[in-house]
Amino acid sequence: MKRLFLACAASLLLIVGTGNRTTAQIPLRLGFTTGVNFANQSFSPELFSSDNPQAYRTGFVLGGIAEFGISGIWSLQAELEYIQKGTKFQQIVTTSTSPTPLGTTDATFKLDYFELPLLLKARLENDNVQPFFLAGPALCFNNLARIDAPGTHVLDRPNTSTLDISGNVHSVDLALDIGAGLEYRVSSNSALLFDVRYSHGLSDIYNNPSIPSAKSYGISLMAGLLFNITRSEEVVAEKPPVEPAKQVIIDTDGDGLPDDDEINIYKTNPYQADSDGDGLKDGEEILTYKTNPLNGDTDDDGLNDGAEVKKYKTDPLDPDTDHGGIKDGPEVFRGTNPLDPSDDLPRKEEFKIDVGKAIVLAGVVFKTGSAEIGPASAAILEKAYNTLEQNPDILVGIHGHTDNVGKRAYNMKLSMARANAVKDYLVQRGIDEKRISTKGFGFDKPIASNDTPEGRQKNRRIEFFRTR
């Protein structure tokens, strides 16, 4: 039986130690176990005969478990167990009046221990059911040592059926435990435990020279429950790389696009590298320049896409690369530079203003007490329009101001209405309203004294403030 058990355990250890798999490093786990133990003793020289044989003593096991993860499948399991060991045998029956043997009866050597096994454990990760193998030493502390033989006189001591033999037993024993079992994962943090364990004593039980040398051995069948105290970490064993299946791509015309994509997606000619004849391969147009492979002049500026990219360095997606007002094609044909906006058109009169600075739009006139713009304001508003139209990247704020005639609330409302009137004028001319913000300050920010007609005139103003 011992050899079979050891062979099974060794086979399981070999299985656990081989193969590539994903395992979970065991965290700190605590639990308990209980079960039944079948114990016996081996004497040297043999104490009992075939006419007076020994038998296994059946007892119980109860203990606690602390398991510490080491690495991958390996962990260290420490236990504290109360375990009943010993052996059964036939006791000669005598009486108190006559020492003559009258027969035999069952007797039991009861040796109960507190044991401290320290076991190396290996688990095979296999979804919810995980086989494991464990082995290691156990330190055994004697708790009970006696002989029970009900109805008899033990060892010729009259009127006694129980004999304490603690003085004949070593208080500490050393054993080797080896076992195998299964864990069933109940949840991510708990598991049921079932294991079979063989324990073999390494030291002599008895310290009485009149008793033959004896060692304990036995088999335990146990079940228990383990709980994760810390989180587990996934450890992925390295696996050989899997070569992806090679995809065969057919590109008959060598333009960088698979024939299937040319036919089904782009509608280009799979037998002609440059379907629109503009000097760029179909793959270059789609993948690099984002131009239309079926239209030689994507931006309709009079230059084909290939000439824009390779010769003139203009943007094939923008008809006026320099944003000077003339398309790239007409610029090239008339001899001007399509990358220089200054040679496109003469610029209209505009304001020169730095970011964070403001200028007064002197000449913007409103009717008295009104936000209606007067005709005399056309020239200065045209210049403001030119500034925004010819510089599409700038943003401005229109700020309205009044003199101190009238109540503050009235002037705040009037100044805001006049700022909005100027904005409306510019938006109606085509300027994006998102580029213009407005604000009314009433008479809170005078630039001259309100005590004179001239000062009040200066304070009634519209400011053009550049924000970007």
Contacts for 343-347: CB closer than 8 Å, 24+ residues apart: 344/320, 347/386, 347/390
Note whether residue 351 is domain-resident.
no
The pLDDT score that the predictor gives to residue 238 is 61
Contact by Cβ (8 Å): 218, 59 = no
pLDDT given for residue 97 in this prediction: 55
Identify whether 250 is part of a domain: no
* 116 pLDDT tier (thresholds 50, 70, 90): very high
What is the per-residue pLDDT for 8?
45
Question: Which of residues 293, 316, 343 is at a domain's end?
Answer: 343
Q: Which pLDDT belongs to residue 26?
A: 56
Pair (75, 50) in one structural domain = yes
Choose the final residue of a domain: 343, 368, 402: 343
| Domain CATH for 158 | 2.40.160.20
Q: Are 335 and 408 in a shared domain?
A: no
Top-confidence residue, 6 or 113: 113
* Amino acid of residue 179: G
Based on the fold, state whether residues 335 and 429 are members of the same structural domain.
no
Q: What is the pLDDT of residue 98?
A: 54
Same domain, 327 and 365: no
For residue 33, the one-letter residue type is T
Confidence category of residue 155, pLDDT binned at 50, 70, 90: very low
What average pLDDT score do residues 2-15 get? 46
**CA-based angle 56:10:83, to the nearest 5?**
30
Is 368 found in the same domain as 326?
no
In one letter, which amino acid is 9?
A
Give the per-residue pLDDT at 18.
43
With a cut of 90, say whether residue 20 has pLDDT above it. no
Q: pLDDT tens digits for 209-236?
A: 777 778 888 899 999 998 888 765 544 5
Asked whether residue 80 falls in the same domain as residue 205, the answer is yes
Count of structural domains, the chain: 3
Query: What pLDDT score was predicted for residue 12?
Result: 43
Same domain, 94 and 202: yes
Tell which wins on pLDDT, 118 or 160: 118
The answer to whether residue 248 sits within a structural domain is no
Mean pLDDT of the chain: 81
Shared domain for 154 and 197, answered yes or no, is yes
The pTM of this model reads 0.44
Give the percent of the chain with pLDDT over 70.
84
Distance, in Å, from the CA atom of 271 to the CA atom of 259, rounded to the nearest integer, reads: 8
Average pLDDT for 316-321 = 93
Q: 463 has which bridge partners?
A: 360, 399
Residue 167 has pLDDT above 60, yes or no: yes
Q: Which residue has the higher pLDDT, 21 or 258?
A: 258
Both 96 and 222 in one domain: the answer is yes
β-strands 103-123, 129-148 pairing: antiparallel
pLDDT band for position 187 (cuts 50, 70, 90):
confident
283, 309, 343 - which closes a domain: 343
Q: How many CA atoms lie within 13 A of 377 on its CB side?
A: 21
305 — phi, psi (to 5°)? -60, -40
Q: Which residue has the higher pLDDT, 208 or 120?
A: 120
Residue 402 sits in the same domain as residue 372: yes
Report residue 288 as tokens: 């690099």
- Answer yes or no: is pLDDT of 11 > 70: no
**Is residue 189 domain-shared with residue 212, that is, in the same domain?**
yes
Q: What residues make up the domain containing 224?
A: 2-236
Tell me if residue 449 falls in helix, strand or coil: coil
**44-102, pLDDT tens digit by residue?**
777 666 656 777 888 889 999 999 888 778 889 999 999 988 777 765 555 555 555 55
Judgement on whether residues 317 and 217 belong to the same structural domain of the protein: no
Cα distance between residue 142 and residue 4, in whole Å: 30
Residue 384 CA to residue 160 CA, distance in Å, equals 124
Instruction: Provide the pLDDT for residue 305.
Output: 93
Residue 7 domain-assigned (yes or no)? yes
